[in-house]
Amino acid sequence: MRIYPKGYGGQRRSPEEVKRDGWHEQGLLAVSVNDQRLTWPERALVEQLGTKLYGKRVEDGEVRHG
């Protein structure tokens, strides 16, 4: 007898596996600006894309309300 429905429980995927699967299956890309695997021009491009799509990031120490 199962405690959980099929597909639930078992071993969890790592965040990297979830990101990789999201890219392969749905074309979604989750990238950190601070990812050390990227060169500085690639990190700058990620920063520019994020700013264009979602606006400026909140700087350290700043808090946005509403």
Q: What confidence score (pLDDT) does residue 59 get?
A: 77
Q: Is the pLDDT of residue 31 over 70?
A: yes
> 39 pLDDT exceeds 90?
yes
- pTM greater than the 0.75 cutoff: no
Question: Mind listing the pLDDT tens digit for each residue in 49-66?
Answer: 999 999 998 876 666 666
Q: Domain boundaries in the chain?
A: 15-54
As a three-state string, the secondary structure of the chain is CCCCCCCCCCCCCCHHHHHHHHHHHHCCCCCCCCCCCCCHHHHHHHHHHHHHHHCCCCCCCCCCCC
Instruction: Provide mean pLDDT across the span 12-34.
Output: 93
